[in-house]
Each structure stands twice: as C-alpha cells, then as structure tokens.
Amino acid sequence: MTSLAAEHPVSSKVFGPAAEPVDRAWVGPPHRGSQPLVRATHPDKAISQRATVLAAMCEGESTIHALADCRDVRRNLDVVAALGVPLRATGPASITVTGRHPSSWRASGLTLDAGNSATTSRLLVAVLAGSGARCVVTGNDLLRTRPMSEVAGPLGELGADLAYLDAPGRLPIRVNGSPLRGGTVVVAVDSAQPVSALLFAGTNAAAPVTIHRRTAARDHTERLLRWTGVEVIESDNSLTVRPGRPSPFSLTVPGDPSGAAFLGALHVASPRAGATLTVPGVGINARRTGFFDVLRAMGVVVGVTSTADTGPEPVGTVTLRRPGSLAGTQLADPGVVQSVIDEIPLLAALATVATGPTQIRNAGELRGKDTDRIAETVALLRAFGCHAQPTDDGLLVHSGPPSPPAVVDLVADHRLIFAAMVLSVLCGGGVELRGVAAAATSHPGALADLAQWAPVEAR
C-alpha cells in the first residue's frame, strides 16, 4: 500500500512551516506583582479535528477559522487531504474544505498515518468502515500502544470488516469498507472518542445507531452534528444518531478550555495569584469546564461569563484569582471526572500545596492515554519531592509543597509536561525540564505561556 507522507503541503500552507520545538528549558524564580493579567488561550484541538473530518463528509464547501496549530491538527489536515478531499488555506489558521461523501474519498490502497492523534485515527476508522475503502490506519509508536477495541468492537457489531495487523486491539487496523447496518452498541469506557467515532459512523449507516455509554462525556461531536442537520437524540446513558447528510458550515473554533486551565493553573501556582487573570474567547461548554468548578471547591474565585453563542458551542470569558490557600478536595463523580479528565495532572500538581489531601477516583481512563497518566502523574509529583500514591482508578495526593529538582526528565505526554511547568512555578523555579518538545502535540506555545509567570531559558 502507498503510505501517507510525513508532511503534506496542506498543513504548512494553513499554518506555515512547523517550528522546531525546544526540548530543554530552564524555569527561573516566578515573577511577582499585583497587576491584573489578560492572556488568550490557543484554539480548541478537539473541535478542530472533529470539524475538519465533518467538513470532509459534507457535500459542499465549508469554512473553518482559528484552527488549533499543533501536531495533532496538522496531521489531521494532512490525512484528510491525502484522502482526496480538497482543502484550501484561506488565511492564517483558516481553511475551506470541499467535502464529498466518504464513498468518494480516495482511500483505497493508502496507509493513513494519524501520527499521535487518537481522535484522527478513531474517527477515520469509523467513517472509512462504511465507505467501501480498502486501506490501513496506523499511527506513531505511542498511538499504537493505545486501545482501539473500544471503537473497533462496536463497529464490528454494526457490520464493519476490520482486522488488527499487529497486536490485538491496537493499531494498525486494516479497513475493508462495507455498508454498516444500524443497531445498538455499548461503549464500555468513560471516553468521548469512541462515542464520537460511532456517531460519525452512524450518519452513514442503513438505520439509526444507538450507543449506550456509562457516563456523559464531552459532546462536541453531538453539537456539531446537530448544528449541521443530523439528528442526535440524547438521554443520560445513551445517544441515538439517525442516518443523514451533514450540511456544509462555517465555523470559528473557540479557545481551548484545557489551554485556559493550563493558564489558570500557572496563575494559581504563582506569587501573582491574588491578582485577576482574564482569559477571553474560551469555549465554556459545561462538559469541558470541570477544572474551574474544582478550583472553586478548592478556594479559587472563578467567574465564567458568556459572550457569544453563534455556533454549536458557547463561548465566554473566564476570570480567576486565588485570595488565600487552597483546600484539598475529593473528586469521584464520573460526570465531573469526565469534565476534567485532561486536567487531572494539573489538579494533582496544585493539590500539593493544598491544606489536606486530595483524592481522585473513577479516572481509570487515564491509564490508556499517551502514557499511563495515573502512574506518570504520581512519578512526576515524586520527582518534585511530593507525596502521592496511585490507585486502580485514580490517585491520592498528600499536602506538602514541591521542592525544586535540578533536572526533570519528562515522558512524552503533553498533559504531564503542562503539570511539570506548574510544579516548577509552585516550587519557586530553578528547574531544568527535559523533554518539553512533546507539548507540541497540543500546544507548541506552552513555553511562551509559562514565560508570563516565570522566566524561561531554552537550553
């Protein structure tokens, strides 16, 4: 089969050439001061990827503005372009997509490399499974360790012909596209990605597809589908999508709530925490803003104000300041955990300076991310001299401020890298972080954000 080249012209035309990321950075003593801060966050990666694939499925011309510039979205664009879907750069981080029915995509004979993007790989497998394509979907070394059976299993029950080419339940997967029937399937993990993949597949099935799930997770896919005319019916524990053709659309991607959480964590960790941080233009979907709810419970003053609601997602401004010490907390409700799942390493970092322990449960999904985020979060905290224990489905963080290690060697996981930056501020700086280049998976500008709260020196 023909392989997808590592770099396709489309992403470079949309964003310009990708900068070589810094891999080692020294973090100095945090800045002091009492002046209010205003800092915008980067666009939402999850919405950028879903919107691009959806636009490729529409029959007609869609426009997407303010795409997230990161490795995952760049690879997402390149893979869609490799399928023969016309993508045209129309401005900085903006594209026009001339979509076509997936049966018209030129996937047969291709090996589609999703890089490190789990969202891209799962959505593609689901859409291509019902398209008639004969192709292979794969990813980089990290992505090939992540579970795919939670997507491939339910797709098989709908009639998909999929085959693992290496380890069972892992990429690469051979897709022998064939018509999908409707029916009822079960997603047995607390994660939005398998549900999103099945919703995309259901738009092209022969009959409605009902998905039973354990916990309601982020709903960007449901919102996008409804906004483009596809019927999605939701209850507490299930979703039903009726087959239909999404209509072309024009979308401006809102700011990333996870990026706003990173900014908020840096601020709360810093000597400037008593001043107000304002983050404008953020997606304030309630299923993505759990981090700020937990911060309130820990004693942070948080404001969330709606400023726009013209697309599928509510958008607003987040303000926060920490007037005093943080309080330890208990995090166990599955719905709340899902709304903060990507930010748990950040919360664990902040919990080290809270009064009393912090217990996080029902987060077992973290063991199947880029790394085992439960084990790696605990290891990171211990590298900073903090006390924490892993559990089967979460972790326990004891109160005790971090101390600065001279050097920290980081695992290739962007969420852990963000937490290490917060810990570096909490401990007063004087830390060299090695391996920060992996932050470019979702946020190449992470060091520039960190520099607002502490001096950063590339090494």
Residue 95 has a CB neighbour count (10 Å cut-off) of 25
Tokens read off for 188: 């047995």
The answer to whether 263 touches 447, Cβ cutoff 8 Å, is no
The rounded distance, in Å, linking the Cα atoms of 65 and 67 is 6
Active site residue 342: yes
How far apart (Å, rounded) are the C-alpha atoms in residues 416 and 422? 10
Q: How far apart (Å, rounded) are the C-alpha atoms in residues 129 and 384?
A: 46
Rounded Cα distance between 86 and 241, Å, is 27
User: How remote is the C-alpha of 331 from its chain's centroid?
Assistant: 20
CA distances from 75 to 5, 53, 126 (A): 10, 12, 17
3-state class of 252 per DSSP? strand
Verify cis geometry, omega within 30 degrees of 0, for the bond prior to 345: no
User: Do residues 444 and 17 make contact, with C-beta atoms less than 8 angstroms apart?
Assistant: no
Q: Report d(CA 330, CA 357) in Å as an integer.
A: 8
Q: Which backbone phi and psi does 131 adopt, to 5 degrees?
A: -105, -10
Tokens 């490799």 label which residue? 82
Residue from 69, 219, 342, 370 carrying the catalytic annotation:
342
* Measured distance CA(26)–CA(406) in Å, rounded: 9
The number of residues in the chain equals 459
The DSSP annotation for 353-414 comes to TSBS-EEE-S-GGGGGSSS-HHHHHHHHHHHTT--EEEETTEEEE--------SEEEPPS-H
Q: Which residue has the tokens 């007609």?
A: 60
Q: Which of 381, 427, 434, 380 is nearest to 403 (CA)?
A: 427
Letter for the amino acid at 307?
T
Q: What is the largest CA-CA distance in the chain?
A: 62
Cα(first)–Cα(last) distance of the chain, in Å? 41
Q: Which residues are catalytic?
A: 342
